[in-house]
Structure 1
Amino acid sequence: MKFLKKFYDWVLHWAYTSYGVPALFILSFAESAFLPIMPEVILFPLCLSRHKKSFYYAFVCSISSVLGGLFGYLIGLEFWSIGQKIVFHYMTHEKFESVRLTYHTHEAWVIFLAALTPVPYKIFTIAAGFFRGDLVVFIIASVLGRSAKFFILVAPFYFFGPGIKSRIEKSFHIIGVSVIIAIVVIILIIKLVRK
């Protein structure tokens, strides 16, 4: 827990500097195309540090994430030899074929749900390019899904900002255990997706 508290303090410190928003933009972009680190690790501390700018941070995160998704689409479209290494890290070839069938029948919903939920969005951005998906549908579904996700996530910070920060710091041990459990659950979900 001490490590998590130190990490929390360290990330929160950067949120107060001029590097916070550029770091959020870069991380959000990269996460949508190839990086396995969620932008929330910077988004949440930024919202804690300046809660009245939470929706601005969500906007930055949404735009950069969709741009990163387009980069992921390009990887799948033109650089599949690279893209498949990322995709097959998360799922088997059999599961990928199942995704292909679902994608071609429910293209917009697949992208929207991938953009909205905790599943690795990058899998579907790269796959969409490989499947030669409709780019307009991809952009619209991504904008709606990513925006909904990030704006919903930051809404509590905007409306209850200072109170949330004090509660986090008072209940850090409980939150730390919850974070560890969440990480384990995400790993299990990824393993299930890969089967």
Structure 2
Amino acid sequence: MRLFSRLYRQVMMWAVHRHAPVYLSMTSFVESIFWPVPVDVMLAPMALAKPELAWRYASLATLFSVLGAVFGYLLGYALWEPLVEPFINTMGYQDKILLAQQWFSDWGVWVIFIASFTPIPYKVFTVTAGLLQMAFLPFVVISLVGRGMRFFLVSGLMVWGGVRMERKLIQYIDILGWLCVVAAVAAYLLLRH
């Protein structure tokens, strides 16, 4: 089934749209609060389609992701009981928040770097940092560093790989897409207990 090939073509059309930087900025902002789709899904094709703007796109993604993180922090800090906790309970994310609190206890501020750079859901940690009243300035600085490293790495790989990488990606996109789906389902089944 060639589902991911069609999706890739659609994403590449969006990547060259004149409003793509605005969409990237909005996606980066909301992804740090609640949005489940990683920014990389939009950033990578944009950097690949217009490599001369790759660093600008990485900068936008970093800036708006950290602004979203600040908003998430403020939600956890000021609106936990009336707004965030009911949402968490409705979505069944209580275990994720408890795990995030445990990670904060184990690793302190470094958990923000880990969550901001890796595929771990950053949004859980932005809200939890506010809930736990983590020192705000280190939260922002570490978020800038982690998110910046991640998004500049993604853009850099797209610039470096260029057309060769795109050809390979198109060749294997459906296999890679289905492998990601299988990995996500397996991770969900392993982590839901």
TM-score by length of 1: 0.86
Distance 2:152 2:186 in 1: 23
What's the counterpart of residue 51 of structure 1?
Answer: 51
What's the counterpart of residue 101 of structure 2?
Answer: 100
1:5–1:65: structure 2 CA closer, same or farther, 3 Å change rule?
same
Cα deviation per residue 1:9-67 (whole Å; 9 max; x = unaligned)?
Answer: 11110111111111010011001011111112211210221123222211111111100
1:25–1:110: structure 2 CA closer, same or farther, 3 Å change rule?
same
- Provide structure 1 residue ranges, at least 5 long, that are not aligned to the other structure: none
Offset of 1:78 from its aligned partner?
1.4
- Provide structure 2 residue ranges, at least 5 long, that are not aligned to the other structure: none
Contact in 1 for aligned 2:69/2:123 (Cα 8 Å):
yes
Aligned length in residues: 191
Letter of the structure 1 residue corresponding to residue 160 of structure 2: F
Offset of 1:154 from its aligned partner?
2.3
Offset of 1:98 from its aligned partner?
5.4
SS of equivalent to 1:148: helix
1:156–1:52: structure 2 CA closer, same or farther, 3 Å change rule?
same
1:51–1:187: structure 2 CA closer, same or farther, 3 Å change rule?
farther
**Residue 14 of structure 2 corresponds to residue 29 of structure 1:** no
Contact in 2 for aligned 1:55/1:158 (Cα 8 Å):
no
- Which aligned pairs between 1:1-195 and structure 2 lie closer than 5 A? 1-80=1-80, 81-85=82-86, 87=88, 89=91, 91-93=93-95, 96-97=97-98, 99-104=100-105, 106-188=107-189, 192=191, 195=193
SS of equivalent to 2:109: helix
Select between 147-156 and 61-70 the one with higher mean Cα deviation: 147-156
Contact in 1 for aligned 2:16/2:46 (Cα 8 Å):
yes
1:123–1:86: structure 2 CA closer, same or farther, 3 Å change rule?
farther
Offset of 1:6 from its aligned partner?
1.6
Distance 2:15 2:70 in 1: 27
1:97–1:186: structure 2 CA closer, same or farther, 3 Å change rule?
closer
Letter of the structure 1 residue corresponding to residue 132 of structure 2: F
Distance 2:125 2:138 in 1: 13
Q: In percent, how many aligned pairs have the same letter?
A: 30
SS of equivalent to 1:152: helix
Cα deviation per residue 1:80-120 (whole Å; 9 max; x = unaligned)?
Answer: 13323455547445x64454354256332011111111111
Contact in 1 for aligned 2:4/2:174 (Cα 8 Å):
no
